[in-house]
Amino acid sequence: MPYMILKDEATADVAFVVQEKNLKDIFQTSAKAVFNTLVETKSVGKTIVKELYLEETDPEKLLLKFLEEIVYIKDADNMVFSSVEISLAQGHAMILRAQLLGENIDPKKHKLKLDVKAVTLHMFRLQKKKNGWEAKFVLDI
Amino acid sequence: MATGIKNIGKGVWEIPVTYKEGMNVPARIYATDKLMKGMDEGVYDQITNVACLPGIQKAALCMPDGHWGYGFPIGGVAAFDLDEGIISPGGIGFDINCGMRLIRTNLTYDEVKPKLKLLVDTLFKIVPVGVGGKGFLRLNKQQFKEVIVDGAKWCVDNGYGWKEDTDRIEEKGAIKGADPAKISDKAYSRGMNQLGTLGSGNHYLEIQVAYKNSIYDLKTAKAFGIDQDGQVVIMIHCGSRGFGHQVATDYLHTFEDAMKKYDITVKDRQLACAPFNSKEGKDYFAAMTCAANMAFANRQIIMHQVRKGFSQVFGRSDEEMGMNLVYDVAHNIAKVEEYKVDGKKKKLVIHRKGSTRSFGPGNAELIPAYRKVGQPVIIGGSMETGSYLLVGTDKAMEETFGSTCHGSGRTMSRAKAKHDIRGDKLQKDMEARGIYVKAASMSGLAEEAGFAYKNISDVVEAVEESGISKAVVGLKPIGNIKGTVNILGMIVPFFVLLIVLFFLLIL
């Protein structure tokens, strides 16, 4: 299981830990954790593609910005997502290019779950571990 | 229980400044012995983190419904000096001015019971709920800017309410100092279409009944207009939706940078803050006020829809059914209020995160009928167990910066609750007990099961024991709408399909 919900942490919200071999997969799996909190992703098609370009000084800040952007688009464009394609590049800053694939929210089609208000900074971290990378974050529900 | 914690009075526990390095004041938890035994360990860590913040006055407080949050614990209250203190979005929450609204009716349970399902289904259709969720109002940016300055007054001026409504809302539903220029384009585009929507999670619209044996203070209950056996009332719990969430997100980043500038360190990144009197602090306070006013307007629009739904179902006007607003009160907010510190009156910035204002009798902001008894305090319980209407006290003004509890408080994480019961089973069990719940997302429903919360009666016992508010009426749920999908979208295509099939058969 590339991500896990921490059942004993953040009583009113949802805490995740994500473990992957590389940074790209950490971003991809973290995004999927957010998608799955909002909706049964199997019920969502891939008719709309949202292109994202984000840059930050370090990967932890970039991950936070990326997850916040997903939560923002959900409300601003009234969308839920089923999958994501990511590429990362390191220049002066760390650059993320992403394609979010999904649809406009349609209650008669999508199995909607819980709304996500925000990505909290409480316990937010992205760390290099012996065998890869680990991210931890709490979504405000 | 935390090391060194001691009981310092009836229902009040103190964690000394020696508990953690950097504590400027002690931390105090309001709870009965029973609640203290079950108190979430995260509360001790988080409330003592709050006690370390610059400019904090007297003590960092946690109410009896306290539990692990982010930054502040849920149930946290803290007051800061205007000159030396800070303001922190982590002490307010992402859902700025999440709050409660209570509407009375002169209908009885016997009148409502035969039409309960129709009533709940009708309200479910006209009050949008769940992920995303767009309201029926289509406002341009200029109109939305008027909403975030004028709050509930804008709604009443535009036909969404009664003139008397605004007198029965904290700050009359429009806090002064809102500045739309301090709001990002992202916050506008995220929240402009969500006015009049409930949201998801623990947000709800509930039909409740007040029974004679649950009226604890008849004089105050009469003043609040809820004094009949079997009287039906409606409770609304929601906040500032995506608009407020984005305002908090934006300013958290501003404050992370500002802390370096002002040389402030905090124990949890979510406590990112800035001096209240700094440019960053003032900007956030003006933006937060916009979000607070949006939340007052949001609950006003929902109430308008509720009145409309009741009129449709019962064939009588909302005035005939006596659908007066009892009160609307915030439980996630920062406000400048005046309290005594070391015997002297002082203006302070009060943070309440999962805590309700609890003004005692005599406060000039209250309408004359309430001024004699104190401010109504609306406490939402779990959808299974019931809720309470309390009243504010002088003791709260003296001890807790005019604050009290806000609800039951969770004891179990969402993941655990979902693991322990299926939503569809819970829905059937509740219906057998006379509570009709409309919730299409069954996993979301399971997460709100009654066993995931503290016993609300224990929480009310704790605030009564310490004297920071008094029970007036206990309210039992009979119908509940949870933040899930809107079935209107399912019904319309179904009828279209029926019509198409009808014509195909004829041909």
Q: With contacts defined as CB-CB under 8 Å, which chain A residues touch B70?
A: 10, 13, 120-122, 138, 140
Nearest to B23 by CA among B45, B8, B6, B39: B45
- Which residues does B140 contact at the CB level (< 8 Å), separation at least 6? none
Strand order in the sheet with A48-56: A48-56, A94-104, A79-90
- Which candidate, B43, B103, B88, places its Cα nearest to that of B304? B103
Report the SS3 class of residue A22: coil
Please tell me which residue of chain B has the smallest CA distance to A116.
B131
Spatial distance between the Cα atoms of B149 and B291, rounded to a whole number of angstroms: 9
* Cα–Cα distance, B107 to B231 (Å, whole number): 6
**Can you tell me the distance from the alpha carbon of B215 to that of B229, in angstroms, rounded to the nearest whole number?**
9
Residue B380 has what DSSP assignment?
Answer: B
Neighbours of B193 (CB within 10 A): 24
The beta strands (E) that lie in B48-97 are given as 60-70, 72-81, 86-87
| CA A111/CA A127 separation, integer angstroms | 33
DSSP state of B278: S
pLDDT for residue A129: 94
Q: Which residue has the tokens 């609800």?
A: B407
Contacts of A118 in chain B (CB under 8 A): 94, 245, 248-249
| pLDDT, chain A, mean | 94
Task: Report the predicted TM-score, pTM, of the whole model to 2 decimal places.
Answer: 0.93
Is the pLDDT score of A44 beyond 80?
yes
Tell me the C-alpha distance between B404 and B155, whole Å: 29
Any B CB within 8 A of A9 CB:
yes
Q: Is the pLDDT of residue A58 over 90?
A: yes
Residue B64 and residue B31 in contact, taking contact as beta carbons nearer than 8 Å: yes
Residues of A in contact with B43 (CB under 8 A): none
Element (H, E) at B411: none
Mutation target for A interface from B188, B249, B294: give the one with most A CBs within 10 A: B249
Q: Which residue has the tokens 């930054």?
A: B71
CB contact A118 to B (< 8 Å): yes
Q: Which among A121, A123, A136, A139 is the top mutation candidate for probing chain B, defined by the most B β-carbons within 10 Å of its own β-carbon? A: A121
B341's tokens: 């510190």
Q: What ipTM was predicted for this assembly?
A: 0.94
Q: Which phi and psi (to 5°) does residue A114 adopt?
A: -115, 140
SS (H, E, C) B140-177: CHHHHHHHHHHCHHHHHHCCCCCHHHHHHEHHHHCCCC
Pick from A5, A12, A114: CB nearest B67: A12
- At position B367, the amino acid (one-letter code) is I
pLDDT digits (tens, 9 = 90+) for A83-104: 999 999 998 899 999 999 999 9
Contacts with B247 from chain A: Cβ below 8 Å: none
Number of domains into which chain A is organized? 1
Please list every residue in chain B whose beta carbon sits closer than 8 Å to the beta carbon of residue A114. Answer: 131, 200-201, 414, 441, 443-444, 447
Q: For B412, which residue in chain A has the nearest alpha carbon?
A: A11
* Residue A46 forms contact with B (CB below 8 Å): no
Q: Are B183 and B287 in contact (CB under 8 A)?
A: yes
Residue of A nearest to B71 (CA): A122
> Which chain B residues are within 8 Å of A105, Cβ to Cβ?
131-132
Chain centre distance of CA B312: 28
How close does chain B come to A54, measured CA to CA in Å? 15
CB B345 within 8 A of CB B113: no
Contact yes or no for B269/A124 (Cβ under 8 A): yes
Phi, psi at B461, each rounded to 5° = -60, -40
Q: Which residue in B249, B485, B493 is closest to A118 by CB distance?
A: B249
- What 3 state SS string does B291-316 have? HHHHHHHHHHHHHHHHHHHHHHHHCC
Which of A68, A105, A121 is opposite residue B132, by nearest beta carbon?
A105
Taking an 8 Å cut-off on Cβ atoms, the answer to whether A76 and B189 are in contact is: yes
Which residue is closest to B494 within chain A, CA to CA?
A: A108
Rounded to whole angstroms, the Cα distance separating B463 from B456 reads 11
* Subunit contact A112:B484, Cβ cutoff 8 A: yes
Asked if B93's CB is within 8 angstroms of A11's CB, the reply is no
Low-confidence winner among A72-76, A107-111, B452-456, B502-506 (lowest mean pLDDT) = B502-506
Give pLDDT tens digits along chain B (507 positions): 677 899 999 999 999 999 999 999 999 999 999 999 999 889 999 999 999 999 999 999 999 999 999 899 999 999 999 999 999 999 999 999 999 999 999 999 999 999 999 999 999 999 998 887 788 999 999 999 999 999 999 999 999 999 999 999 999 999 999 999 999 999 999 999 999 999 988 899 999 999 999 999 999 999 999 999 999 999 999 999 999 999 999 999 999 999 999 999 999 999 999 999 999 999 999 999 999 999 999 999 999 999 999 999 999 999 999 999 999 999 999 999 999 999 999 999 999 999 999 999 999 999 999 999 999 999 998 877 899 999 999 999 999 999 999 998 777 767 777 667 777 788 888 888 889 998 756 666 777 777 777 889 999 999 999 999 999 999 999 999 987 433 333 333 334 444 545 555 555
Query: Which burial class, exposed, middle or buried, applies to B139 when counting CB atoms under 10 A from its CB (0-12, 13-18, 19+)?
Result: middle
Which of these, B219, B153, B199, B206, lies nearest to B378 by C-alpha position?
B206
**Secondary structure letter of residue B71 according to DSSP:** S
Instruction: Determine the number of helices (DSSP H) and then strands (DSSP E) in chain A.
Output: 2, 8
pLDDT of residue B410: 73
What residues contact residue B210 under an 8 Å CB cut-off, 6+ apart? B221, B226, B228, B229, B230, B231, B233, B473, B474, B475, B476
Question: What's the pLDDT at B495?
Answer: 42
Nearest in space to A96 (alpha carbons), one of A58, A48, A49: A58
Return the SS3 of B503.
Answer: helix
B70–A10 C-beta distance less than 8 A: yes
User: Which amino acids of B are annotated catalytic?
Assistant: 406
What's the token pair of residue B453?
A: 């919360």
pLDDT at residue B433 in the model: 84
Please tell me the distance from the alpha carbon of residue A114 to that of residue B269, in angstroms, as a whole number. 25
CATH (domain of A34): 3.55.10.10
Residues of A in contact with B183 (CB under 8 A): none
Q: Is A34 on the interface with B (CB under 8 A)?
A: no
Are B414 and A12 in contact (CB < 8 Å)? yes
pLDDT at position B487 is 33
The answer to whether A52 faces chain B, any CB pair under 8 Å, is: no
In terms of DSSP H, where are the helices of chain A?
23-38, 59-76
Provide the domain limits for residue A120. Answer: 3-140
